[in-house]
Amino acid sequence: METNTQVILNNLDSSNKNSIDWNHLGCIALAYLNNIHIIDATNLKILKTLSPQSLSKSVISKLKWSTSNLNSNKNIYPHLASATDDLISIWDINESRIVGELFPNENNQSTPNNKVVEMRWLSSAQTTNKNNNSNTLLSLYSNSKLIIWNTESSCRIWQKNINDQRLHGFTFDHHDFLRLAFLGSNFINFLKLDSMGDSNLVEKWQRKFYLASNDASAHIDSNAESPRRSSINLFSSYWKKSVDTKPNTSQSIQQKALLKECFQIEFHPNVKNILFLVYPREIFVFDLTIYQTIGFIQTDKVYSPFQQIYPCHQADAFYALHENGSLSVHGRCKDSIHQYELIANTEQKRLPKNCSLFGLSVCPNTERFCSMILSDGRILKYELFGKKDKTLDREDLFLFEIMESKKRLKLMLVSMLDSISSSSFVAKMGPRLTKKNCKFWYPLMAIGDSIGYLSIFNLNLNKVDRKIALSTNPLMGIEWITLSSLIAWSFNSNMSLSVIESFNNSQNKQQILVKNDVFYVDLRTGESALVRTNQIEESPITAVKISHL
């Protein structure tokens, strides 16, 4: 009998950054180390966990849902692509197994120091038909090699070595899915492909733009089909508007700094020939018909820099994730077709120490729900809705309906999938199933960490039900009384965790004197109380046993 592996969410690896994706069936795929969690986006419940078939310790760096089965049965999951180093695995979620592996080398072996920089499923308007599923995957590697795969047969359709500097990522035009844009350190490379039928692709033309400043020489060729390299001033309209407010010296310094800070480019799926260039403090709107910057969005001086954006398909708007954990939604201004204004945002979130943002994902169906992942494994789900409008309370409401209502919008946190601390120190399973408690029994596990937090994990729901702060010292032990109460103990000491661990294995425990704390915890109310009030220095408590008679 096949059992479903359950992995409790914990601190993510740095390679797991941006490894989160939301599909049209309402499922979120999240990479945790070398495992993949499939999460129900409605109630943030972990449905299943996919573990590698081999004992590979390579961390998953990319995750992308396929656009296949778009109009099929909701019980049939589409394929999922995951990337570890330079290996791309195609998962069949229904059977929880890998159905294909894509190696960039012909000998089907991994290459050292070669990783997947970006990968995306190639989709067009025709792939939304029931009889035509998308099985084409684009992958860009750190050695500047672009490969287009047929995931059904695991064969290469087309490949190209881009002899340039290291590329940071790419995106494709949703209105012309054979037009690609690549982001380099100080340039953008456009590539146009032509379909010859029978899955054959050829290169039609290629054009490269260097991100030039005002004092740089800018050469623009008028023929869009022929030029291979050109330099263009992307910031001309921006600096013209701000020249009256900033001196020339600071303006020149800021321009040079901007040239090295572009970290994301995205085609606008709602408006043709529009490309977003994302910088920490600005987002430039680039028009591909005239190859000039036609607008920009700036963050407020007191607001946090941009970290990631998601352009919307249903409206001329985009979601923005900020470094301090806040979210904002920007829509097109009523008076200008090239400027965007802030229409909704969340408050600045206080992130714990050593905690950062790891990615943003938006519901592709309604584009009203979004989720962010934190480095400690927590998932926060937000909803965009109109204020004081009962007609906008439907859950199946789409983004364009809210935008057309012209109501004030608000982003609100609606649910959260919690995780346990990375410094977990002790764990104890709850009472076993008996004839007396079979009607109300459910499997619980109590986990204590080194900072005094007690987490109650429900194995049926695969989520943390409750988290209680008991002490500022490490919890040394847990003992269950009933399904709704337990005993936990710790001691007050300045010893480090490594010393405490070595102390637990030593035999000279009576030579150390500490102040023991024993807590009684009621899980129904979260109330805790000290069992022993007269604290004296004594040897550390090693075990507590409960009499159930």
Query: What residues are paired with 502 via a beta bridge?
Result: none
> How do residues 65-110 score in pLDDT, each as one tens digit?
998 755 555 556 789 999 998 899 999 988 888 999 999 887 777 7
Q: Which of 104, 71, 68, 66 is nearest to 88 (CA)?
A: 104
What integer best gives the mean pLDDT of the chain? 81
Residue 356 has pLDDT above 60, yes or no: yes
d(CA 382, CA 327): 9
| Predicted pLDDT at 90 | 93
Residue 321 clears pLDDT 70, i.e. is over it: yes
Domain residue ranges in the chain: 1-126, 424-538
Q: Is the pLDDT of residue 505 over 80?
A: no
Identify residue 20 by its one-letter amino acid code.
I
In order, the DSSP letters of 112-168 are: TT--EEEEEEE--GGGGSTT----EEEEEETTSEEEEEETTTTEEEEEEE--SS---
Per-residue pLDDT tens for 444-494?
A: 999 998 888 999 998 888 888 889 999 888 899 999 999 899 999 988 766
Q: Is there a contact between 324 and 302 (Cβ–Cβ < 8 Å)?
A: no
Residue type, 476: M
Half-sphere exposure for 387 (CA within 13 Å, toward CB): 8
> What is the layout of strands, in order, in the sheet containing 292-298?
264-267, 274-278, 282-287, 292-298
- Residue carrying structure tokens 């591909």: 288
* Fold held by 1-126: Methylamine Dehydrogenase; Chain H (2.130.10)
232-256: pLDDT as tens digits: 555 554 544 444 444 455 555 555 5
Residue 132 has pLDDT above 50, yes or no: no
As beta bridge partners, residue 283 has 278, 297
**Given this model, what pLDDT does residue 128 score?**
37
Residues 6+ apart with CB under 8 A from 250: none
pTM of the model: 0.84
Distances (CA, A) of 463 to 272, 443, 444: 42, 12, 10
Q: pLDDT-derived band of residue 218, with 50, 70 and 90 as boundaries?
A: very low
Lowest-confidence pick of 93-97, 229-233, 381-385, 540-544: 229-233
